[in-house]
Structure 1
Amino acid sequence: MSAQVDNRSGLEALEKRLAEDLSLLELPAKSWVPERTYEGAAVRDVVVIGAGMCGLAATARLVLGGINNVVAYDAAPAGLEGPWVTFARMETLRSPKSLHGPALGLPQLTFRAWFTAQWGAEAWESLDKIPKNQWMEYLVWYRQVLDLPVRNNVRMTGIRAAGSLIALDLEGAETGRVYTRRLVLATGRSGLGGFAVPDFLKEVDRQYWAHSADEVDFSSLAGKRVAVIGAGASSMDNAATALETGAASVDLLIRRKEMPRINKMTGIGSQGVVHGMYQLPDAWKWKFVDYTASTQTPPPRASTLRVSRHANARFLLDCGIVAVKEQGGELLIETTQGLLRYDFLIAATGFTNDFDGRPEFAAIAPFIRSWSDGRYTPEMGAAREGMLASPDLGPAFEFREREPGTCPILAHIHCFNDAAMLTHGKVSGDIPAVSAGADRLVRGITASLFAEDVDSHFANLVAYSTPELQGDEWVDSTPLLNKDNAL
């Protein structure tokens, strides 16, 4: 199916219906947040860092709710935000096509509406999974049809306090310092940290290996022996891409003795999980996430078959890595199955929440409370390092201070990315529940902004003087009543 718009008139009709729906719902709501300045500079109500799916959903929900002094910044060029057409190397999305994703409860804003407006109901019925490039096209349309305030090619390089405000340093297409009352970190799968790199790779020259989220020149791997660490979805996607671009051989080095087969969390997906996970006691939250981590999520069947159909692909199970070193222009990998030799290695080892290594967070990182700071107790289960590093968040995804009073602006910085999962459940990283997550986020921001400006809002109440009645709607009968009583 062509990724190009085949039916512009159908899309225009959809956009008209969406505009009508928004009008019926009185959306966007009227602007209600008082304007502020700081040392002569305008102050944003909210800045969103990241304009991928979560960033767009958060920005849209803010604007629709009448918080209009908002901007979203993304370091990527327009149309390249998020992983979809960069380091996501699968052919299709893994989520069912029917999920409404970032549509925020608006039927005309769903992928299904966008798709059928152009290709029709029959094409929708025949569609299996959504091609990832087409999902990116939908997100581009989503941004355009809602006229969201996104600025590309802008990178945040620093966060610091400016009185009660947050000062952000920017570079790129917009350079300098901006001030905001609230900050949303919609920074995607990398959360607050970055790539998770195993210790055995940290001293190996980068010309011999890449992380699965790196830009990889797969054409340079033609004729090469390639190893891929892991058995997850990204492992399969990267292995398949290497095979399809001519790698001589690809081995998947899988530490487990058996491939995981059952997608546990998808199997129990429900509105109860979406809205109830955050309300659970900490011990139950830990239990859910710990169990899914121990059982692991299997790669999709189609992604696995995409690898196994190649005769030069091998699945090496029970193959843990002991050490890696470069020698004579090749990698020598010592494994539990013996010594293996490769020309290049791809580490599909995920991401970390260790934000101490990110320079843009340097001013706030030491003060952020994580689950290791007393929220976790040994009675909950195994002390998993990645889970312990998860930030301990409030009800609107806001950070909490490790020591009260040491960094008050943390209460105004919201972690709307994958790092929020342990506290909030999977509502800020994946397609299924992103609308629910955006709604939870913006309800919290709305309430806190209103409370912060309560004096101003009360003054507006007192000053409001537009009469509902003009004085000519009735006759005062009191004089007649008094006359009648006198008789």
Structure 2
Amino acid sequence: MASQDPVPTPAEPALPAVPLQFVASPRHTEALDRLTAQARADLERINVPPPAWVLPAESSTPESPVLDVLVAGAGMCGQTAAFALRREGVTDVRVIDRAARGEEGPWGTYARMLTLRSPKHIGGPELGVPSLSFRAWYEAQHGEGAVLSGLGAPGWQALHKIGRVDWRDYLLWVRDTVGLPVENGVALNSVSHSDDGQLLHITLEHADGRRETVRARQLVLALGRDGSGAPRWPDFPSLRRDDPLAAARVFHSADPIDFQGWEGCRIGVLGAGASAFDNAACALEAGAANVTLFARRAHLPQVNKSKAASNHGFLRGFEGLDDARKWRVYTYIFDEQVPPPWETVRRCDAHDAFELRLGTPWVDVAPDEDGVTVTLPNGGMERFDAVIFGTGFDVDLLDRPEIAAYTAQIDTWAHHVSATEAERHPEPARFPYLGAGFEMRSADAAHPQAAALARMRLFNWGATMSHGALAGDIPGLAIGAARLAQGIARDLFVEDADRHWDRLQAHDEPELIATRWYVPPASDA
């Protein structure tokens, strides 16, 4: 019998090439100096900052001054919030950050992606000033075309996405260009308030251990992605976070990790999001013998629903929705989850040592002196030299020691949905229920802490259920910062309304003194 040729199997479609990605481009100092001068001239042309108008607090003295606003956190959100306040003429602002310069936020620390997730055309930190935009910053150094610049980086048209360290350096440039002073090495320690709730008493801790108490009328909590909670550590029967055996072998993706020490090691990663893939890629690029990424889902999320929630109508209008619609929108987005960027997945797939195991949750994690044993469903076990939790951040204000005195009174979304819905969606239920200017609220409006809570503005991921993604995701940043600054300006003005009335009556600058129609005040007649 004549043999038959085997039936050919259909070839998998060829995948598109991954565009050029890089963490940082070369710097062109002289070009940036020229752009700095242009941006400062542009700010002057639009009268930024405008004249300061806020009246000093009545209890402020040279010996015991009162700040108008303290901004805690000088990352992307805190910096942009402070710039927005300056644009509103609120200038008695102090900005602090516990980290050293350049280490504010994730960009130079635990973020391990090559590029930002967002498209390169996003704006935000420039607050609408073209010469302060990332595009202006990049084009000044590398040109606007599709060819390589003299420094070896692609021009703007050829740029795929923004390099992570480029974004960090751009933020620092914006800060310096607009003249925004930041006190690095200063951490927010605790908050209390005056007897009438009209002033916040804020304890700061300096890097040298010195403590300082300042008084402020408003506090902006721009404490980063974990500033409304903490890194999410899964609970496992055999794992204790304070176990010394876990300290060197069990990590969260937000931890400092020495990937270079993992050459030849077997690494397990838990999670299906971007940070899980980023950390897996770093381990692979450091020469790990094998990296296995586990996800409980049967397939990776495929559609980023939050993209549909990033247009200006949504970003501006979401805060005006009723509670039921807000709850419906973000519980849906959270349930759908965000897929990892395709470039990041391909970054891992480029290594033969990478394995993705879908539909495989972890049942237990047990570190010992030689490694980590991961127990899988049905009794299976895997052995690793180290494991990483790429499980993101939880939102639970009970985890924030800085405002521990107030957490029991902070209003949350659990109080605004049914008990069934709160049980069904426990994390959204823990999000703080914020006012129109990002101010926190007391669950009991008559409680003595209510007035003080209204002076604390939460400007980070914890604002999402109330305002949408305006304080953490770049596309909504400018809208969020402007809303925050305008809310603070409004409240400062209303609080001093009678004093502004006195100022209005006392205003006596004559307009017609240079004409023949000038009439002197009656007292001078």
Q: Shared topology, TM-score over 0.5?
A: yes
Please point out which of 60, 65, 75 is paired with 1:52. Answer: 75
- CA drift of 1:108 comes to 1.0
After TM superposition, the structure 1 stretch with the greater mean CA deviation from structure 2, 466-475 or 11-20, is: 466-475
- The residue type paired with residue 91 of structure 1 is L
- Give unmatched runs, 5+ long, in structure 2: 1-21, 146-154, 520-525
- For residue 488 of structure 2, what is the aligned residue in structure 1? 445
Which residue of structure 2 lines up, in the alignment, with residue 480 of structure 1? none
Are the aligned partners of 2:253 and 2:388 in contact in 1 as well (CA < 8 Å)?
Answer: yes
Shift of 1:357: 2.8
Alignment-mate amino acid for residue 194 of structure 1: A
Q: Which residue of 1 aligns with 2:175?
A: 143
Query: What aligned pairs does 1:374-389 form with structure 2 within 5 A after superposition?
Result: 374-377=415-418, 383-389=424-430
Counterparts of 1:239-388 in structure 2 under 5 Å? 239-327=280-368, 329-336=370-377, 338-372=380-414, 374-377=415-418, 383-388=424-429
Asked if 1:460 is matched to 2:503, the reply is yes
Contact 2:118 / 2:161 at 8 angstroms: preserved in 1? yes
Q: Where does 1:207-218 land on structure 2 (aligned, <5 Å)?
A: 207-218=248-259
What is the distance in 2 between the residues matched to 1:447 and 1:379?
37
Opposite residue 276 of structure 1, the aligned amino acid is G
Identity of aligned residues (%): 38
**What is the CA deviation profile of residues 414-462 of structure 1, one whole-angstrom value per residue up to 9, with x for unaligned ones?**
0000011011000100111100000110111000000011121111111
1:235 maps to which residue? 276
Shift in Å, 1:3: 3.4
Give me the whole-angstrom Cα distance separating, in 2, the residues matched to 1:328 and 1:113. 52
- Asked if the contact 1:283–1:380 (Cα under 8 Å) also holds between the matched residues in 2, the reply is no
Cα deviations across residues 98-144 of structure 1 (Å, max 9, x unaligned)?
11122111111110011111211111111111110111110110100
Q: Secondary structure at the match of 2:516?
A: coil
Q: Distance in 2 between matches of 1:269 and 1:427?
A: 9
Structure 1 pair 155/460, CA: closer, same or farther in 2 (3 Å)? same
| Equivalent-residue separation in structure 1 for 2:72 and 2:350 (angstroms) | 40
- The answer on whether the counterparts of 2:432 and 2:440 sit within 8 Å (CA) in structure 1 is yes
Distance 1:94 1:472 in 2: 61
- Render the CA deviation track for 1:49-83: whole Å, top value 9, x for unaligned: 11011111000011121111001100110111110
- DSSP-derived class of the 2:84 partner: helix
Q: CA deviation at 1:475?
A: 9.6
Moved more, 406-415 or 166-175: 166-175
User: Could you tell me which residue of structure 1 aligns to residue 156 of structure 2?
Assistant: 124
Q: Which amino acid aligns with 2:67?
A: R
Question: Which blocks of at least 5 consecutive residues in structure 1 are unaligned?
Answer: 477-487
Question: Given that residues 157 and 168 in structure 1 are in contact (C-alpha distance below 8 angstroms), is that contact kept between their aligned partners in structure 2?
Answer: yes
Shift of 1:370: 0.8
Work out the CA distance in 2 between the residues paired with 1:149 and 1:412. Answer: 22
- 1:379 Cα deviation after fit: 7.3
Among candidates 27, 30, 49, match of residue 5 of structure 1:
27
Does residue 187 in structure 1 map to residue 223 in structure 2? yes
Per the alignment, in what secondary structure is the counterpart of residue 57 of structure 1?
helix
Cα distance in 2 for residues equivalent to 1:328 and 1:178: 47
1:479 equivalent in structure 2: none
Q: Is the 8 A contact 1:287 1:381 kept in 2?
A: no
Q: Does 1:133 align with 2:156?
A: no
Distance change (3 Å), C-alpha of 1:60 and 1:268: closer
Structure 2 match to 1:197: 233
Q: Report which stretch shifted further, 396-405 or 332-341.
A: 332-341
The aligned residue for residue 200 of structure 2 is: 166
Amino acid at match of 1:424: H
Distance 1:309 1:55 in 2: 37
Q: Counterpart amino acid of 1:128?
A: H
The alpha-carbon distance between structure 1 residues 308 and 382, as it changes in their structure 2 partners (threshold 3 A), is: farther
Amino acid at match of 2:264: G
Cα distance, 1:48–1:384 mapped onto 2, change above 3 Å: same
Please give the alpha-carbon distance, in whole angstroms, between the structure 2 residues aligned to 1:415 and 1:425.
13
Please say if residues 227 and 400 of structure 2, whose CA atoms lie closer than 8 Å, have aligned partners that are also in contact.
no
Cα distance change on mapping 1:101 and 1:446 into 2, 3 Å? same
Deviating more after overlay: 418-427 vs 244-253: 244-253
Say whether the 8 Å CA contact 2:69–2:218 is kept in structure 1: yes
Q: In structure 2, how many angstroms separate the alpha carbons of the residues matched to 1:475 and 1:414?
A: 48
Asked whether the 8 Å contact 1:7–1:119 carries over to 2, the reply is no
Give the conservation status (yes or no) of the 8 Å contact 1:225–1:247: yes
Residue 156 of structure 1: aligned partner:
188
